[in-house]
């Protein structure tokens, strides 16, 4: 155990809760990964990529409403119980998706939306649950290992899905996802140990910045930010150029990711659904293994050597490269490369970096800034992006959409440079929170 403790960077006496939380989140990571491969593979094969804007629009409408309800209902309840309920709902959602998948194109589309919305809600609450169980320095030491466990769980689940699909068909992934969600719920309930009585937990932005929490359109604001801090965040836009820069970069990134997702799904349409789910399962295994290496082996070194602003440019460069490859060599390899840039690379690099930018604000302004950018700008950008993508699909071919995507990636690079400069100016004005 001492060797494992040294490998994970966790004191031996704190290893047990970290391993327990890693087991729970590993099961969650496996469930989400299997669900992603199954529902997206069936969606592309049966409904087609041209219906993707319907998924994105429905998710953009439903997710904020559910997040608001979650914030109201979860606050007075124990995080462990809330997590168990959410995982139970996700498991039931996977089983519902299995039933819906037999009802034609619209059924598969509905299954896609249900999976994305419920998985996102689990991710939102996970940060609350984590900080309830690990406090202070324990959270800072244990969080990277716990999030790495989620990626390892996804990799293992991806490998395990391949023989299941060969034996029972592509839809078996729904049952696998439901089982993993249920296993995570049981581990959360019966593997529970009392939360340590300690000082106030660190800011969620600190934890996410170190761990690279998996989320959608950046990390959701914590429940306390609904809804009053959003209006305060709007006033911050006038007072702080950094809020405006974060808002623009977040909105443009939504457009870029939507374009990449549509193109990679369109290029995979010709693959048989069984082969496609198998391909996505194998991709999941490989991509998450690489993601662990990036998070634990490279990101910290890049931040130390190049700093936050320069490291932030790497992701902008990666999405430009992915888009150029889609234009020059469209095909399955290019589609998988775009998927990697849109998903695993974003979660491994961009999400933790974006969270670190919020540390430039004072503690009093940090919550309102996050609530405005992530609770107002991001949902609005998702709705506009879905509508814009639907219009582009209706009026242009895939090549034209690819060139529009290239323009969006170039704009994202410009927005990233502007964000970096605004961040550096804020640092020079001594508004960055002192470390330590």
Nearest to 328 by CA among 256, 405, 402: 402
The rounded distance, in Å, linking the Cα atoms of 79 and 375 is 22
Rounded to an integer, what distance in angstroms lies between the CA atom of residue 108 and that of residue 102?
8
* Calpha distance 427→17 (Å, rounded): 36
pLDDT for the residue numbered 273: 93
Burial class (CB in 10 A: 0-12, 13-18, 19+), 77: exposed
- In angstroms, rounded to a whole number, what is the distance separating the alpha carbons of residues 124 and 204? 11
> What is the model's pLDDT at position 141?
63
Q: For residue 103, what are the CA distances in angstroms to 23, 41, 74, 170, 232?
A: 35, 16, 34, 15, 45
Q: How much is the pLDDT for 403?
A: 95
Cβ atoms of residues 193 and 20 within 8 Å:
yes
Q: What is the pLDDT of residue 216?
A: 46
> Taking the chain (436 residues) in consecutive chunks of 10 residues, what is each chunk's mean pLDDT?
58 71 92 96 95 95 87 82 94 97 95 95 84 67 77 94 95 96 91 50 37 42 50 59 90 95 94 94 93 76 80 92 96 95 85 77 75 85 95 90 95 95 78 45
CA distance 112 to 103: 13
So what's the pLDDT on residue 12? Answer: 62
Residue of 356, 352, 283, 256 lying closest to 40 (CA atoms):
283
Q: Which tokens sit at 335?
A: 């589609």
Contact, 35 vs 115, CB < 8 A? Answer: yes
Whole-model pTM: value is: 0.84
Q: Is the dihedral of CA 249, 254, 255, 258 positive or negative?
A: positive
Distance CA 378, CA 265 (A): 22
Residue 43 tokens read as 């969606």
* pLDDT attached to residue 347: 81
| Domains of the chain and CATH, by start | 2-428 (1.20.1250.20)
- Cα distances from 187 to residues 28, 40, 148, 415, in angstroms, run 10, 27, 18, 42
Q: 29 and 18 in contact (C-beta within 8 Å)?
A: no
Query: Distance between CA atoms of 181 and 94, rounded to whole angstroms?
Result: 9
The set of residues, in sequence order, having a beta carbon less than 8 Å from that of 11 and lying 6+ positions away, is 5, 141
Position 160 scores a pLDDT of 95
The DSSP 8-state label assigned to residue 362 in this structure reads -
């Amino acid at each position: 155990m001492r060797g494992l403790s040294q490998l994970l960077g966790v004191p031996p006496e704190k290893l047990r809760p970290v391993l327990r939380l890693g087991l729970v989140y590993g099961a969650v990571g496996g469930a989400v990964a299997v669900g992603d491969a199954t529902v997206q593979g069936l969606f592309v094969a049966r409904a087609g990529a041209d219906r993707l804007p319907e998924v994105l629009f429905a998710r953009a409408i439903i997710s904020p409403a559910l997040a608001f309800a979650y914030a109201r209902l979860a606050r007075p309840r124990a995080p462990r119980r809330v997590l168990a309920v959410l995982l139970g709902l996700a498991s039931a959602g996977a089983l519902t998706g299995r039933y819906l998948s037999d009802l034609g194109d619209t059924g598969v589309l509905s299954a896609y939306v249900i999976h994305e919305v419920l998985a996102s809600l689990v991710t939102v609450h996970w940060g609350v649950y984590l900080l309830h169980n690990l406090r202070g320095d324990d959270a800072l030491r244990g969080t990277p290992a716990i999030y790495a466990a989620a990626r390892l769980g996804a990799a293992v689940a991806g490998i395990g899905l391949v023989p299941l699909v060969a034996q029972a068909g592509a839809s078996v992934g729904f049952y696998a996802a439901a089982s993993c969600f249920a296993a995570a719920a049981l581990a959360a309930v019966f593997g529970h140990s009392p939360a340590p009585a300690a000082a106030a937990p660190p800011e969620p932005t600190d934890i996410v910045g170190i761990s690279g929490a998996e989320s959608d359109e950046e990390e959701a604001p914590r429940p306390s930010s609904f809804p009053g801090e959003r209006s305060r965040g709007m006033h911050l836009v006038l007072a702080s150029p950094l809020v405006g820069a974060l808002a623009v970069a977040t909105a443009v990134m939504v457009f870029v990711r939507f374009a990449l997702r549509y193109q990679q799904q369109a290029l995979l349409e010709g693959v048989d659904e069984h082969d496609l789910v198998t391909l996505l399962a194998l991709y999941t295994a490989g991509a998450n293994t690489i993601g662990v290496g990036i998070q634990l082996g490279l990101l910290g070194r890049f931040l130390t050597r190049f700093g936050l602003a320069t490291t932030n440019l790497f992701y902008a460069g990666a999405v430009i490269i992915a888009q150029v490859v889609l234009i020059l060599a469209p095909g399955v390899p290019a589609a998988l490369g775009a998927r990697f840039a849109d998903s695993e690379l974003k979660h491994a690099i961009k999400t933790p970096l974006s969270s670190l930018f919020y540390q430039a604000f004072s503690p009093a302004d940090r919550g309102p800034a996050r609530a405005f950018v992530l609770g107002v700008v991001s949902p609005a950008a998702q709705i506009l992006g879905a509508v814009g993508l639907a219009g582009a699909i209706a009026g242009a071919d895939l090549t034209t959409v690819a060139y529009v995507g290239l323009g969006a990636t170039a704009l994202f690079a410009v927005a990233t440079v502007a964000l970096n400069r605004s961040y550096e100016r804020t640092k020079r004005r001594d508004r960055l929170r002192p470390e330590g």
